[in-house]
Amino acid sequence: MDREIVEDLRKILGKESVEDDELTIKLYSRDAAYIEGNALAVVFPKSTEEVSALLSYAYKKDLKIYPQGSTSELVGSSTPGNDGVILSLSRMDRIKEYSVVDMYAVTEPGVRLVELNETLAEVGYMFPIDPASVKSATVGGAVNSGAGGMMGLRYGTMKDAVLGLEIVLPDEKGTVLKIGGKTTKNRAGYDLVRLIVGSEGTLAVVTEATLKIVPMPENIVSVASFFPDLDDLVNAVVELKRRGVNLYIAEFLDAQTVEAAKVMRPRIQGEGNLLIISVDVAREAAERVLSVLEGIMRDNNASAVFKARSMKEAEEMGIFDMRRGFYPASIKIAAERRRDIEKRSIFFIEDISVPPSRLAECVKRIRELAEKYNVNMTLGGHIGDGNLHPNVWFEEGNEEEKRRALEFLDELMKLAVDLDGTVSSEHGIGTTKKEFLLMEMERKGMKAIEIMREIKRVFDPKGILNPGKLW
């Protein structure tokens, strides 16, 4: 039966678009953290028409389909099961058009975000969603995960940046549907676009996205400041907001993570908690705004302040080194602390949010939980919007470490909800956070889960698209 399916797929898509060798399947069957799966084959359609033919066939055969971008996600939302086919959209990688007057770009799902921005930079524009995996993340993956990033404070996440989509439904005809459009304002019925954004490939396959683009800032000034006391760091952010500073980027690492991150030999160093602030300004205002920023940092007891008059200077100084090296530093620390060098470290890269006014309380309580359960942890995030990323890991095969890590995560999620926050901000739910989604919905109303399941049945009546995800 499996051979028959593979041969059918080759007839539909062409021999060059179907791979069923073990190594290729293994390569496409794991995410960026630790979750692995398996599949019958990997298929690489090159057009919407081919995706439509594939989904029509899958519907008739009850064949499970696992859509996939670059597998840079972290919660198991792109990993396959044993009973289906991986649908890689990597060969649908054209930037179809863009307009600076209308401020949109139309791309296929396999376009990498960094490639889109390289093209837009030539005309002074950019697409402002910048997840940590921006160099590998694709448009389709970003749509389905609802990605965010460091510029989320200013521009929001993918739900704020998608104007329209072309999607293919998993029905008998493989129906192709256009939703949304090319205008910022669009009130034609229910907002199906934002229903697809963040749906993790469970409702439809995205084959084209119309994205909102913005002018590149004339100039960006940045400061990196170290604060011995976390409350002082948070108070500095509060003062920035009270004084009406239009923040572009606001990122932080806590003191223990700053110390740990020194293994990466960052170009700027200091003691305590790290705050990075960027503001877009006219070039002639750079010195004045930097002076204001430094004053606010110093008034709130910053022990060291590094200033950059432009993004080019910030990159040369290494202003963002520690923040960008947050995850690689965690991996390096985990590797150095292994008891058995033959064992790998299993990571949970978490993604909670709380209101920014409650962030200091949240960080302190997270650290208390880490001490309570004696877990390995690094901690940083997007302080401007209250999005925190605790990285927790344990050594493969160490059941005691694993038990403590899982108990820590359970209390972490309860803490987020207790502080009026959420268990997932930009990474999604996938397979690793299903129980936490249910926990959050128990507080907010389980009817929401019932509605979500009904929506799934409407879009995907046979349940063939990315089964086993979300709940």
Give the model confidence (pLDDT) of 94-147 as tens digits. 999 999 999 999 999 999 999 999 999 999 999 999 988 888 899 999 999 999
Assigned domain for 433 exists: yes
Length of the chain in terms of residues written? 471
Query: What pLDDT sits at residue 271?
Result: 94
The rounded mean pLDDT for the chain is: 94
- Coil, strand, or helix at residue 168? strand
Residues 385, 429 within the same domain: yes
Contacts of 413 (CB under 8 A, 6+ apart): 352, 423, 433, 436, 439, 440
Dist CA 439 CA 28 (whole Å): 31
Closest CA to 74 of 134, 35, 37, 33: 33
Assigned domain for 75 exists: yes
What percent of the chain clears pLDDT 90, i.e. is strictly above it?
82
Whether residue 198 is predicted with pLDDT greater than 70 in this model: the reply is: yes
User: What is the sign, positive or negative, of the torsion defined by CA atoms of 29, 390, 159, 428?
Assistant: positive
Residue where a domain stops, chosen among 74, 90, 106? 90
Residue spans of alpha helices (H) in 185-338: 192-196, 230-242, 255-261, 286-299, 311-317, 321-324, 326-336
Residues 201, 272 within the same domain: no
Residue where a domain stops, chosen among 307, 324, 341? 324
Query: What pLDDT sits at residue 341?
Result: 82
Q: What is the mean pLDDT of residues 345-354?
A: 91
Q: Which residue did the predictor score with more confidence, 53 or 326?
A: 53
Residue where a domain stops, chosen among 324, 347, 374? 324
Among 12-21, 327-336, 461-470, the least confident range: 327-336
Axis-axis angle for helices 399-418, 434-444 (nearest 10): 30
Q: Which residue did the predictor score with more confidence, 414 or 340?
A: 414
Query: Residue 171 belongs to what domain range?
Result: 95-215
Which secondary-structure segment (H or E) carries 165?
A: strand 162-168
Looking at residue 341, which CATH number applies to its domain?
A: 3.30.70.2740
User: What is the sign, positive or negative, of the torsion defined by CA atoms of 362, 363, 369, 373?
Assistant: positive
Looking at residue 18, which CATH number applies to its domain?
A: 3.30.43.10
Query: What pLDDT sits at residue 251?
Result: 95
What's at 299, amino acid-wise? D
Query: Using one digit for the tens of pLDDT, what is the confidence trace for 423-449?
Result: 999 999 999 999 999 999 999 999 999
Residues 109, 180 within the same domain: yes
Q: What is the mean pLDDT of residues 239-252?
A: 94
Dist CA 424 CA 421 (whole Å): 9
Assigned domain for 462 exists: no
CB-facing half-sphere around the CA of 28: CA atoms within 13 A: 27
Query: What pLDDT sits at residue 72?
Result: 87
Answer whether 82's CB lies under 8 Å from 39's CB: yes
Judge residue 82's burial from the number of C-beta atoms within 10 Å of its C-beta, 0-12 exposed, 13-18 middle, 19 or more buried.
exposed
Query: What's the total number of domains in the chain?
Result: 4
Residues 330, 418 within the same domain: yes
Closest CA to 26 of 79, 89, 69: 79
Residues 385, 431 within the same domain: yes
Whether residue 459 is predicted with pLDDT greater than 70 in this model: the reply is: yes
Query: Using one digit for the tens of pLDDT, what is the confidence trace for 286-337?
Result: 999 999 999 999 999 999 999 999 999 999 999 998 988 888 888 888 888 8
Assigned domain for 17 exists: yes
Dist CA 41 CA 38 (whole Å): 9
Residue with tokens 């034609």: 188
Q: What is the mean pLDDT of residues 388-394?
A: 94
Residues 352, 414 within the same domain: yes
Query: What pLDDT sits at residue 1?
Result: 66
Assigned domain for 470 exists: no
Q: Do β-strands 41-43 and 84-88 pair in parallel, antiparallel, or remain unpaired?
A: parallel
Residues 334, 437 within the same domain: yes
Residues 360, 441 within the same domain: yes
Whether residue 262 is predicted with pLDDT greater than 70 in this model: the reply is: yes
DSSP secondary structure string for all residues of 54-76: HHHHHHHHT-EEEEESSS--SSS
Closest CA to 423 of 471, 373, 394, 388: 388
Confidence of residue 253 (pLDDT cuts 50, 70, 90): very high
Q: How many CB atoms lie within 10 A of CB 169?
A: 22
Looking at residue 121, which CATH number applies to its domain?
A: 3.30.465.10
